[in-house]
Each structure stands twice: as C-alpha cells, then as structure tokens.
Structure 1
C-alpha cells in the first residue's frame, strides 16, 4: 500500500482535522493562512484527514480545493467515512462499480429513519426545533452564509440530521434521553445540533487507525485539531491534540496528556497548533 499522499511509505504522522472554525474560517471559510502548512505536510507525506460535520457532497469539492483527494475523510461527525483506493482493503472494501474511486462506509443509521424519529419525538413531546431536511435552500443559506450550491450540498445528508434548537435546556435534555432510547445521540456543532446513530468523530478516527494498521502493519503518531464540542471525541482519540480558540462560548474540557490550546482562532490557530506539535514530534 503506497502512502495516501504519494509520499514516503511510512508517514511520520497522521493529521485529523475539523474544518469549520479550524482549518476553515468560521465565517468566510477561507483557509489560506493554513496553506503553507498544508503544502509542507504534503511534501513530508503526512496525510491530512478532514474530520467534520460537513456532508460527503460538501467534502468532494473541498478535497479538490485543499489538494486532499488522496486522503480519507470523515463526514457528518463520524456517520460517513470515505476511503480512497490507497486506504481500501482488497477483500473488504473494493466496489466493482467504482474500482478506482471512493468507497464510502456508513456506520450510522440511515438519515430517513433519523428524520422520521425526530418528527415523532417532536410531536409527542411538544418540542420546538427545525430540522435541516425540512428547511428551504434559502433558509440554510441564511443560517450558514453558504452559496445556493453549498447549501444544497450541506442538505445532502446520509447518516445524520442537523437541527436548530428553539426550546429550553430542560426540553433539550428530554430530547437527548428519548433519542438515546432509540439508539440515537445528540451532538453539538458550531451552528447546529446533530442527531445520528451511536457514532462520533472519535469512533471514526479509531476505525481509520485500525484500518491503517491492518493494511500497513504499523501505527504512526496522530494529531487532532478542532474547535468545538463535537471535536472532543476526535481530540481524545489522537496522541496529540489542539483546541483552537473559538467564540462559541461552549465548554471545551478535555483531559489529555498532550494538549495545546491556541491563541489564534480559525486557520491561523490551526497553523499555530500544527507548528507547536510539529516542532516537538515530527522530523524537520
């Protein structure tokens, strides 16, 4: 199995990164402050693996823009995992319909089931929230500042359903407990709450690490970067962690032996955190 970026056979590091508010600016989605580090990592043969609440449809375009088409991705907070050919197992993953393309794993529950359960629970408990699947493209654009095409891509869910919460904390806890009894869970993102099966970013990271080790026979050090509560399981699953400064006001408590908190937000903070651990871990 060749390296996922076309570099050395044994990459010195695997980088798992959140996108919105981390590698991408929370408001403008700009990533240029991180561009020099992305180029440096590519030259060193270090796979950068997007680990995000975004959908597969959103990521396909972003992967081309960020030159990450040869690395895996984790979408919808762990509900969808994309494997490029270099990360596919010859017996378990090959798709005859797409021998040279992506193979997509969906460890979560189907989004149609999730939506039906949310509708039933909302009516039964008298909750106030709006699901992304019942919004118009224009409503999603207003909430996210995305283009019309970007909003349509964000709405192309496969294993999770975002919602805008419009009720109080007591009702939120009732929703959480009811979903749990259905095998569903509620995760806080930057703009939305996300409902999915019993998966999260940390589960998906560990799944990919197990796949990497099975294919290559070794496990390189790992670095995780994120800015929101839904990134905490990702950060807990990696050897080194970076919490990027954010203004969402949510607690970011994490017990981790190798944790760095940045001074800068967004892609500037991403570059700051990457530099911090690169100097201490990876070869120059």
Structure 2
C-alpha cells in the first residue's frame, strides 16, 4: 500500500509500457485508465515520442489538455497553451541535425531527418500517418546505428564534446542536449503541479526502457515493465521496496504494476 496522504500522480512512458511494443495498442490498460479518470487521478505521459504524436494520443486516451513530457525530456508541455524546451542551450532542431550529420563522415548511422515517412514506417512499425508525426521533432533526433561497438564509444565521446547525450529507447538511439532528461523535465513539471496542488504529490512512474531510468529513480514508486531492450533498466535508488518489476510486457505489465501499488478501491 502506498502513502496516500498526498494527491497521487501517475507518470508513464508510452512505447513498450502503456502502449504495446508491436501493435501500439493499450487495451489491457483500459480498465485502469477508466479508474484513474473516474477518480480524477492525473496521468502524465513522459515519452520519447514527439509532441505531435502525443497530442492525438492524449485525445484517444481521454487525457486532452494534460501536461506531458516529449522527446525524452527535451520538450515539456505544461498545459494546452504553454510548451517549453527546458534546456539551457538554444540549439534548434535543424541546427542539431546539421551538427549530427557532420559526424557521418566518421561514423555509419542514419538519422530520422534523412528518412522518408515510408522508411520510418518500415523500421518502426508505425503507420504512414504516425511516421509523419514521429518526424515532426522539435529538440532531439533519432538515429539508427549501423557501425561497430568500438565506433559507438568514439561516437558518444564526440557527442559529449558537443554537449549532446545519447539515450537508448525501445527501438532506436536518441540524441538530445546533454542537460535534458525525463528526470529533469519531470522535476520542473512537479514544481509547477505541486504549487497548484498546494503541496507534495505522491508519484508512481512506469517505464520499460533504459531511457526511463532517470524518471523511475525520481518518482516515489517505480514500476519497471518487462521490455525488449538488450540493455537492462538499471535503477540506483536505495528504496528497493518501492520498485516493482513486472512479469508481463507492455500494457499488461503496466496494469500489473498499477495493481501492485494500488488497491482496487483506490
């Protein structure tokens, strides 16, 4: 049983978590989504997806107008009118792409901005319409690595020298400003929401990939959903009793984690 002295907030990854890794459906999580909506418990999406992808998904999930975190923390939507890029640099998406493209003289990789909607659809399993939204990036880039492991380490060093970081998602690698993360964006969002709520919020986070680790380390209760990434989700928090590892993937695991931390009459 979790501490319910403070208002509850759910923070969730999408792909491989609330959404099925293969079909992008959330049917198994629907009963919990209904329960949260009925009890007015807010659900914040915290994803590698773009804002262009998240907004229509919010509508389908019944979350329109709610805050969300996009592009692994490079974009923060506080409300329906206010969207931020909460990092100290002023690098535009086009400038970021130019910076990354220069590295193709040394390394073999394909960034999303060099792919068509058809090609993104083929490598991701998204529909053409969804692929178009996935390419509407604002502050980070996605790439498909095609080089050796040895080259990869050198590539990371080159990015770090340019104040850029590399994160592994469920399918692809993501490049974003070094001071961006899901954790940092969530901290900024919680400061705003706590002020509105008049005090601390109790948070439950759910995610399946290495790029969710910082977010899962920063919430009060963490659900690590069984995922397909070759790299495990490694958490560094000391309160192991507040971490739950699911036996199921995707929305089934998402619901399993919610069941674990919240009683049916929550």
Q: Give the aligned partner of residue 62 of structure 1.
A: 57
Checking the alignment, whether the CA contact within 8 Å between 1:12 and 1:283 is kept in structure 2 is: no
Distance 1:47 1:218 in 2: 15
* TM-score, normalised relative to structure 1: 0.86
Q: Give the aligned partner of residue 118 of structure 1.
A: 100
Partner residue of 1:241 out of 218, 222, 242: 222
1:38 paired to 2:19: no
Large movers: runs of 4+ above 4 Å? none
Distance 2:66 2:42 in 1: 6
Change (3 A) 1:148 1:11: farther
Structure 2 counterpart SS, 1:74? strand
Instruction: Please give the residue correspondences for 1:176-195 in structure 2 after superposition, counting only pairs within 5 Å.
Output: 176-195=156-175
Deviation at 1:43, TM superposition (A): 1.3
Q: Give the aligned partner of residue 200 of structure 1.
A: 181
Checking the alignment, whether the CA contact within 8 Å between 2:74 and 2:86 is kept in structure 1 is: yes
Distance 1:110 1:216 in 2: 33
Change (3 A) 1:121 1:225: same
Q: Give the aligned partner of residue 260 of structure 1.
A: 244
- Number of positions where the alignment pairs a residue of Structure 1 with one of Structure 2: 255
1:277 paired to 2:231: no
1:172 paired to 2:152: yes
Q: Give the aligned partner of residue 232 of structure 2.
A: 251
Distance 2:81 2:33 in 1: 22
Q: Give the aligned partner of residue 19 of structure 1.
A: 14
Q: Give the aligned partner of residue 81 of structure 2.
A: 102
Partner residue of 2:138 out of 158, 166, 171: 158
Distance 1:52 1:228 in 2: 10
Distance 1:230 1:247 in 2: 13
Q: Give the aligned partner of residue 225 of structure 1.
A: 206
Deviation at 1:107, TM superposition (A): 2.0
Change (3 A) 1:12 1:142: same
Deviation at 1:283, TM superposition (A): 6.6
Q: Give the aligned partner of residue 96 of structure 1.
A: none
Deviation at 1:11, TM superposition (A): 7.1
Structure 1 counterpart SS, 2:155? helix
Structure 2 counterpart SS, 1:162? strand
Q: Structure 1: 5+ residue runs without aligned partners?
A: 1-9, 85-100
Q: Give the aligned partner of residue 91 of structure 1.
A: none
Distance 2:100 2:15 in 1: 25
Distance 1:37 1:283 in 2: 11
Distance 1:228 1:164 in 2: 17
Instruction: Please give the residue correspondences for 1:127-146 in structure 2 after superposition, counting only pairs within 5 Å.
Output: 127-146=107-126
Q: Give the aligned partner of residue 77 of structure 1.
A: 72
Deviation at 1:30, TM superposition (A): 0.7
* TM-score, normalised relative to structure 2: 0.92
Distance 2:102 2:176 in 1: 15
Q: Alpha carbon RMSD of aligned pairs, Å?
A: 1.5
